[in-house]
Structure 1
Amino acid sequence: MAKGVLIDLSGVLYVDRKLLPGAAQALERLNAAGIPYRFLTNTTRKPKRAILALLADLGVKVQDDQLFTPARAACDWLADHARAPHLLVHPDLEEDFAGCADQRPKAVVLGDMGPFFTYDVLNAAFRALDKGAPFLALAANRVFRDDDGELSMDAGAFVRALEFASGKKADLIGKPAPAFFAAAAASMGSDLGEVAMIGDDAEADVAGALAAGAERAILVRSGKYRPGDEDRVKPRPSAVVEGVAQAVDAVLADS
Structure 2
Amino acid sequence: MISGVLLDLAGVVYDGEDVIPGAIDAVARLRGAGLLIRFVSNTTRSNKPALLTRLLRIGLHTTSDELFTPAQAARQWLVEHDRSPYLLVHPDLEPDFHGLAGGSKKALVVGDAGEAFDYQTLNAAFRELLEGAEFLGLAPNRTFQDVDGKLSLDAGAFIAALEYASQRRATILGKPSPEFFLSALAGMNCPKAKAVVVGDDAESDVAGALRAGLSKAVLVRTGKYRGGDETRFKPAPTVTVDDISAAADWILAARNIQ
What is the match of residue 242 of structure 1?
Answer: 242
Aligned to 1:220: 220
Displacement of 1:101: 2.7
Say whether 1:66 aligns with 2:66.
yes
Larger mean Cα displacement after TM superposition, 56-65 or 119-128: 119-128
> Where does residue 76 of structure 2 map in the other structure?
76
Q: Secondary structure at the match of 1:217?
A: strand
Name the residue aligned to 1:18: 18
Tell me what 1:209 maps to.
209
Aligned residues with identical type, % of pairs: 53
Aligned equivalents of 1:180, 1:6: Cα separation in 2: 11
Q: Is residue 162 of structure 2 the alignment partner of residue 132 of structure 1? A: no
Question: Structure 1-normalised TM-score?
Answer: 0.98
Q: Which runs of 5+ in 2 are unaligned?
A: none
CA contact (8 A) 1:221 1:242 kept: yes
Which residue of structure 2 aligns with residue 191 of structure 1? 191
Deviations 1:159-192 (A, max 9, x none): 0000000010000000001111011111121122
Counterpart code for 1:201? D
TM normalised by structure 2 equals 0.97
Q: Secondary structure at the match of 1:93?
A: helix
* Residue of structure 1 in register with 2:114 after alignment: 114
Query: What is the 5 A alignment of 1:28-43?
Result: 28-43=28-43
Q: Does 1:89 align with 2:89?
A: yes
Q: Partners in 2 of 1:188 and 1:16 — Cα distance?
A: 28
C-alpha distance in 1 between matches for 2:215 and 2:37: 14
Deviation at 1:103, TM superposition (A): 5.1
> Is the 8 Å Cα contact of residues 141 and 204 (structure 1) preserved in structure 2?
yes
Q: Is contact 1:85–1:102 with CA below 8 Å preserved after alignment?
A: no
What is residue 8 of structure 2 aligned with on the other side? 8
Deviation by residue 1:63-114 (Cα, 9 ceiling, x = unmatched): 0010001101000000000000000000111011012134531100000011
Q: Is 1:137–1:172's contact at 8 Å kept on the other side of the alignment?
A: yes
Letter aligned with residue 100 of structure 2:
C
Which residue is equivalent to 1:164? 164
Aligned counterpart, 1:180: 180
Contact map agreement 1:140 1:155 (CA 8 A) in 2 = yes
How far residue 149 of structure 1 moved from its aligned partner, in angstroms, is 1.1
Contact 2:82 2:103 in 1 (8 A): no
SS across alignment from 1:85:
strand
Q: For residues 99 and 220 of structure 2, what CA distance do their matches in structure 1 show?
A: 36
Cα distance in 2 for residues equivalent to 1:103 and 1:20: 42
Please tell me whether the aligned partners of residues 16 and 147 of structure 1 are also in contact (alpha carbons under 8 angstroms): yes
Secondary structure of 1:254 counterpart = helix
Question: Within 2, Cα distance between the matches of 1:103 and 1:68?
Answer: 23
Unpaired stretches in structure 1, ≥5 consecutive residues: none
Structure 1 equivalent of residue 57 of structure 2: 57
Q: Which amino acid aligns with 2:189?
A: G
Output the aligned Cα RMSD: 0.8
Aligned length in residues: 255
- Cα distance in 1, alignment partners of residues 237 and 133 from structure 2: 36
What CA deviation, in whole Å up to 9, does each residue of 1:204-223 have, x standing for no partner? 00000001101100000000
